[in-house]
């Protein structure tokens, strides 16, 4: 009996857990009674995963395919010789020079001369995404390639 009265005394002396929160308003009480409207709101920060077949995004006669065929026929051995990342050694793989060459040639056909614009197109435009084939290309790499290989791009 003493313990029971002690517990009651302790409980009466404690402050309420949520004393700092405001009391609910009548409007909130009415909403609870009625229930809030269930709506679908935009979730613009939600990530989306999309299955995309890059090969199917371009028709067979698309100009980007012609540019790629042209680049494949070019002798780019001097570009491959300059790649420092080699099998059996540490280092991140380099971007295939064919991709960089094709991007610049295709961009030139479209009148695009800015590395930043080409990098943006690589993220947004199907033809550029097809040329990249899933390889991430940034503007700095594109600019360095253009400056370092002017003789091949002219």
* Interatomic CA distance for residues 43 and 92, integer angstroms: 36
**Structural domain includes residue 16:** no
**Structural domain includes residue 28:** no
Q: Which residue has the tokens 């995963």?
A: 49
**Structural domain includes residue 25:** no
Q: What is the pTM of this model?
A: 0.68
The band of 32, judged by pLDDT with boundaries at 50, 70 and 90, is low
**Into how many domains does the chain fold?**
1
Evaluate whether 106 touches 126 at the Cβ level (below 8 Å): no
**Structural domain includes residue 139:** yes
Q: What is the pLDDT of residues 86-123, one digit of tens each?
A: 888 888 899 999 999 999 999 999 999 999 999 999 99
**Structural domain includes residue 121:** yes
Range of the domain at 119: 54-153
- Span 74-95, average pLDDT: 87
């Amino acid at each position: 009996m003493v313990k029971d009265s002690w517990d009651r005394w302790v409980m009466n002396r404690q402050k309420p857990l949520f004393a700092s929160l405001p009391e609910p308003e009548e409007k909130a009480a009415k909403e609870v009674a009625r229930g809030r409207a269930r709506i679908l709101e935009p979730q613009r920060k939600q990530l989306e995963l999309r299955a995309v077949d890059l090969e199917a995004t371009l028709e067979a006669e698309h100009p980007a395919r012609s540019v790629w065929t042209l680049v494949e026929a070019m002798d780019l051995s001097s570009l491959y010789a300059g790649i420092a990342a080699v099998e059996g050694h540490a280092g991140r793989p380099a971007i295939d020079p064919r991709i960089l060459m094709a991007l610049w040639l295709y961009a030139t056909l479209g009148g695009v001369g800015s590395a930043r614009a080409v990098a943006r197109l690589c993220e947004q435009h199907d033809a550029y995404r097809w040329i990249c084939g899933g390889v991430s290309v940034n503007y700095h790499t594109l600019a360095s390639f253009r400056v370092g290989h002017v003789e091949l791009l002219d």
